[in-house]
Chain A
């Protein structure tokens, strides 16, 4: 069955970096686009952008440029979200989600990133 398995929770200090992974199984990895979604504590869902799993080309939503990088390693069917220069307001759960026809059919379980000194 289709699964997206994300890396575990992270506790980071302000200014540090974090890399969240999302390993896909059960489908052809390069057929589905991969999106990233942020959910701050007690808040709604915020689309961060997506990466074309065929070409590796990323697209970032407004507000997620500069410190955020989407990348892939197709050999291990994994997408990555790298956030640098972490701030307290980056504290959130980050989800990966795959998309074949536009809607987000499959979701990872989420990775909690906590930024605190």
Chain B
């Protein structure tokens, strides 16, 4: 078990391009979360999965954002037609189904839209 893995670590893209990020959770964790964090702010919830089911999506999330978790394993987060305001750290976290849960975060993907 190597923790939560995110790929890539950094991504620079031109405005209007599509980007996709990948997250591999801790193997025994069935819950997976995506957050976004900008400088000086706390992580902002985007969406979360229990196994392959997407259970909640932030109302603040644009239709340009979509996430999947096929077969309840890894997850992808896609941003279409990127805007400069999408520049942020995208954090993935996973947790188990136990009552005493807490997230384990990955290292994050830093997106810069130019």
**A joins B in a complex:** no
